[in-house]
Amino acid sequence: MRKSFIPNLFTVSNLACGFLSIHYAATGRLVPAAWLIVIAGFLDAFDGKLARLIDSEADSGEFGLQFDSLADVCSFGVAPAVLMLHYFDPIIGPSWGPVTTAFIFLLSGAFRLARFNVKNDDREEQEVKPDFVGLPIPVAAATLCSFVIFSQRVWDSTPEPLVGLTLCVLLAFLMISPFDYPAFPRFTFETARDRFRIALSLGAMILVFLFTEAAFFPVTMAFCLSGALRWLKHHIVGREAVDLS
């Protein structure tokens, strides 16, 4: 049995979740559709790590990378875009505004994946600097899904479509932005930065576990905005250092 079978099975499961999410959204079951995309995100997070763990990259190589990206376009690009279209439909009705906004999200996600694939060729640079440039598309998709879950389960008032439209545009911008986002923290306590990331991640996971529907959206939104805040901090601190010198 080729070693690449198991990681590719995770990718197939990721793709199946995205496909089923589109079906659920089309039939009006928005919350199950959103959770299917979240499950696809978990599967996507572990297929690459599993490939490295069992040393299957030599078997799959470029095929595994391209197959994973194609699955991601469906699960984290098309599926969330369709989910938002059906979320907007009862509120706004047929309109070019939601269609255009959802397509912008999809287009930015596809651009983000293409940029990642091009930069992924430089393995050595990726090992030195594990941060991502631009918001990863699975995180953007999870944020949209958490918004839908929050608005359907927690929001007491009628959801405002302007919030959803603004969120789609914001996430699209963050995906193609030059902002740095940390990769999943390594389980090491070598530096204060690593320790802080692990503590923050554990705290966020505990919050989401205890208050899933209420905490999921704020936690994902905080992560999305963190890239812009880090960028601002870097430029402000850098400018102050130049002024002092």
Q: What is the pLDDT of residues 111-143, one digit of tens each?
A: 999 888 877 655 444 444 567 888 999 999 999
Backbone phi, psi, residue 27, to 5°? -100, 10
How many CB atoms are closer than 10 A to CB 113? Answer: 20
**What is the Cα–Cα distance from 77 to 20, expressed in whole angstroms?**
14
pLDDT confidence tier of residue 1, bands split at 50, 70 and 90: very low
Q: What is the pLDDT of residue 128?
A: 45
- Fold that domain 5-244 belongs to in CATH: Four Helix Bundle (Hemerythrin (Met), subunit A) (1.20.120)
Q: Is residue 130 within 8 Å of residue 183, measured between CB atoms?
A: yes
Q: Is the predicted pLDDT of residue 25 greater than 60, yes or no?
A: yes
Residue range 204-212: average pLDDT?
A: 84
Confirm if 71 and 11 have CB atoms less than 8 A apart: yes
CB atoms within 10 A of CB 101: 23
240 C-beta neighbours (distance < 10 Å), count = 10
pLDDT tens for residues 89-110?
Answer: 877 767 788 899 999 999 999 9
31 exposed, middle or buried (CB, 10 Å; 0-12, 13-18, 19+)? middle
% residues pLDDT > 70 (the chain): 75
Per-residue pLDDT at 161: 83
CA distance 24 to 242: 54
From CA 88, how far away is CA 90, in angstroms rounded?
Answer: 6
How many other CB atoms sit within 10 Å of the CB of residue 191?
Answer: 10
Are 34 and 94 within 8 A, CB to CB?
no
Distances (CA, A) of 117 to 4, 16, 79: 19, 22, 21
> Which H or E run includes 180?
strand 180-181
Q: pTM value?
A: 0.84
